[in-house]
Amino acid sequence: MTEEEHMREAIRLSVENVESGKGGPFGCVIVKDGRIIARGANEVTTTNDPTAHAEVVAIRGACKALGTFQLDGCEIYCSCEPCPMCLGAIYWARPKAIYFANTKSDAAAIDFDDQFIYEEIERPIAQRRLFTRQLLRDEALVAFEKWKTSPLKIAY
């Protein structure tokens, strides 16, 4: 399949998702060695899971299919430019490429506007809209110290 055919599948999933009433207009496919190994569509409202964006659903499926927590050598095709959460998940998954169709401006035009999240990330913690305060850092550092020296850790 070509890049365009993979993208058409992501777009098809997004359209199908709207027509079925299962969720938002977002679809994603993950490809390895030229074949689709996972598909995802937005499942936020059907699963009551705000993290169930098409990209996250597809990443979970691809990692399960490959038996790994990284998507080395994979390409991700998104029907829309990934939101901040999905972009973070994609970077953590470490694919070799991302392709997208609709832009974040296109999404904002239909009330999926993530610009406020990008702006919040740039603000100092005390100036963010969501109340945030650090607690018990010294106690929490114990886990980090144990991780640093653990012979059981798998780096990622």
Residues belonging to the active site: 55
DSSP per residue over 19-87, as a string?
A: HHTSS-S-EEEEEETTEEEEEEE--HHHHT-TT--HHHHHHHHHHHHHTSS--TTEEEEEEEPPPHHHH
**Amino acid making up residue 24:** G
For residue 33, which of 64, 6, 54, 4 has the smallest C-alpha distance?
6
